[in-house]
Structure 1
Amino acid sequence: MTDNTRPPRRGRRPAPDNERKDRVIQTRVPRDLEDTLRNAAERQRVSVSHLIRHVLEDTFQLVDNIVADSASLMGNVSRDARRLAATARGQAAATPVPRQEQSGDAASAQLETVDAWQAVIINRPGHCLQCGTALARGQHAYRGLSAQPGAAPAWLCEQCLQEL
């Protein structure tokens, strides 16, 4: 008769999955890179393992930010190129739709994309997103700043900004 039970393990019992440490990844590096890593870790008073973990996390975050910024830049460049092409063809630049013609949901959704308001002097005519007041060239107003690529410009007159 064969016994399919495992022999008892020596040493301590394995920790439950929820208490186990992070995963280990090993790699070979040249001696000069090892020296550089050890020196940098010593200067920062962390272990080499922690230094490498932080460098990897920071690198991935940096790459993600660059990709997001590039997408935003690409959207801005494309928009500007379309405007220049329209101007070259003699077409007038499109003006924002007054709020009376926008649904309340669309205007509030547009306001939700705004991270901050920047005081500006209007160059192209537009309309206040809240009240629909015409904003003329040379008038003081506020432009909504958004981190969302391709977000439509949001404008507020001084009175509506004070009411926010």
Structure 2
Amino acid sequence: MYTIVDMSEGERRDADRKERVIHTRVAEDLDEEIKRRAQSLGVSVSNLVRNILQNAIGLVEDIVADGAEAVQAARRAGTSPPTASDPRLLGWQSAVLAVNAVCERCNGLLPRGTRAAIALLSSPAPPRFRCERCVEEEPTDHGPQAPHD
């Protein structure tokens, strides 16, 4: 026996828009953490995982775009030795970042929304950022450093 099903145009569009399912294996600890977080937020595990993936992809795209802009700005500015007119470092101010940045000392990524330090300078200059760890280790150091473990 054959059954012929004729779907309306609206039903076909709805069927085309159905979300896809991704199966993946995760460690037991991660599975438990995801379930705990979902329960505490009052959302399903699938909604939590979907939101995490969407936010992570958006964050990576923002970091890549901001990183490309930083590289282009650095290339345009070129590198020149410090002169007497270069601004003097007065200190570091801790802040929650509104932009993605890169630590000037260890090149660590500093995503928007994280806590980092911004240089307070004696005269106007492009912003300088450091991760909190680099500020604690060497607050007055001006040279690059290897990334943290």
TM above 0.5, yes or no, is no
TM-score of the two chains, using structure 1 as the length reference: 0.41
Query: TM-score when scaled to structure 2?
Result: 0.44
Structure with more of its chain in helix, by fraction:
1
